[in-house]
Amino acid sequence: MPLVHLIYVSTASENLSDDALDEILSAAVRNNKPRHITGMLLYAGGDFMQVLEGDESQVDEIFSRIENDPRHSQVMVITKELVAKRDFSDWSMRFRRLVEHDEKDHPGWAPYFSSGFDAQTMEAEPGVALTMLKLFAQTQES
């Protein structure tokens, strides 16, 4: 069973409340856990960036649901590739909102997220997307 990761960016359809974000996250955890899908979801400037990792058929199935979710649009895949190991094995789906202090703490990365995630930039530099997902998976929102 090939292990893959898929990274996409999208734009939230409206300014989502904390409750609305909680709802997305609880559906993610509920569905990903039994499918052994792990990953990270970032929310910044009204945009999402998410990595899903797991067996290819499971990732494809969950992604096809996500793609059609009306809570976001302009869903654009940055990369989908085979990986040797998981980077987010501790989380069925970790969620992290990027806030002002993240810009101060990581000024080098700030241009990539301070006004949301730009699909073209991320597509040109998929390594940046993965590095940011990994970086923010290790730090707390405060």
List residues binding ligand FMN (CB under 6 A).
24, 27-28, 30-32, 41, 48, 50, 52, 62, 65-66, 69, 71-72, 93
Q: Pick between residue 28 and residue 112 the one whose CB is nearest to ligand FMN.
A: 28
10, 74 contact by CB (below 8 A): yes
Q: Pick between residue 57 and residue 105 the one whose CB is nearest to ligand FMN.
A: 57
Q: Least distance in Å: CB of 79 to ligand FMN?
A: 17
Round to whole Å and give the CA distance between 101 and 116.
Answer: 15
Round to whole Å and give the CA distance between 65 and 4.
Answer: 17
Looking up tokens 């990732």, which residue turns up?
Answer: 59
Q: Least distance in Å: CB of 5 to ligand FMN?
A: 12
4, 54 contact by CB (below 8 A): yes
Q: Pick between residue 69 and residue 105 the one whose CB is nearest to ligand FMN.
A: 69
Q: What token pair was written down for 123?
A: 């597509």
Q: Least distance in Å: CB of 97 to ligand FMN?
A: 12
Evaluated on CA atoms 102, 26, 80, 76, the torsion sign reads: negative
Q: Pick between residue 30 and residue 134 the one whose CB is nearest to ligand FMN.
A: 30
Q: Pick between residue 27 and residue 110 the one whose CB is nearest to ligand FMN.
A: 27
Residue at shortest CB range from ligand FMN:
31
Q: Least distance in Å: CB of 104 to ligand FMN?
A: 26
Q: How many CB atoms lie within 10 A of CB 141?
A: 11
